Chains A and B, each alone.
Chain A
Amino acid sequence: SSSNDVKDEL
């Protein structure tokens, strides 16, 4: 799973 919580892509 992801360690990058912020979804900063569109």
Chain B
Amino acid sequence: MNMFRFLGDMTHLFSVLVLLLKIHTIKSCAGISLKTQELYAIVFATRYLDLFTDYISLYNTVMKLVYLGSSLSIVWYMRRHKLVRRSYDKDQDTFRHHFLILPCLILALLINEKFTFMEVMWAFSLYLEAVAILPQLVLLQRTRNIDNLTGQYVFLLGAYRSFYILNWIYRYFTEVHYVHWITWISGLVQTLLYGDFFYYYFHSWKNNEKLQLPA
């Protein structure tokens, strides 16, 4: 495993853990899209079906379980926790995320590496991950609430995307037959959408800063 891949995994892991820890500590999820968090939980659940069929490494297995556990915990907090659910911007988080799931599933049925259940689910999880940030982007544009979407979360997600792309480039040039078109293209789309998210975050952040200046 190269350093880019490892740093990508770590920043991805920390982005999820930071969010979970923050919700757990301040008992608030204001500014966080439940729709996006649910999509991420579905992404992990459908991608890691191979937990039951293939053993790759202890690292791999543990990371998968931690991703699954932490993303499901976030969803649980936002839906079920007495205090946390009160802070959820339900009326603003209106993106119809179910309409993302069906097109991704159809695309996965059409474009996959092999037409088997596992491969279709794997492709589906990649397509869904690419667009899962959209409800969060819409919520951020609506509420301009950047209190809970900390710089850390934005920074860690961005670092994860960047490191994974460097990892693919590195592996392409150092390994024989390392070609994953589906992963690369959906990864690029995800990074572009994330760039949009990044832009709005800093835009809101800058405007909030300005508002605090004396007139």
Contact = CB atoms under 8 A, between A and B. Distances in A.
Given A2-B180, A8-B60, 11 more contacts: A2-B113, A3-B179, A4-B177, A4-B179, A7-B122, A8-B57, A9-B5, A10-B9, A10-B60, A10-B64, A10-B67
Counting contact residues on chain B (CB < 8 A from A), the size range is 20 to 34
Contacts of B12: 10
Counting contact residues on chain A (CB < 8 A from B), the size range is under 10
A10 B175 CA distance: 18
Contacts of B56: 6, 8
Interface of B: 5, 9, 12, 50, 54, 56-57, 60, 63-64, 67, 113-114, 122, 164, 167, 175, 177-181, 183
Contacts of B164: 9
25 contacts: A1-B114, A1-B181, A2-B179, A2-B180, A2-B181, A3-B177, A4-B175, A4-B178, A4-B179, A4-B180, A6-B54, A6-B56, A7-B50, A7-B122, A8-B56, A8-B57, A8-B60, A9-B5, A9-B164, A9-B167, A10-B12, A10-B60, A10-B63, A10-B64, A10-B67
Contacts of A2: 113, 179-181
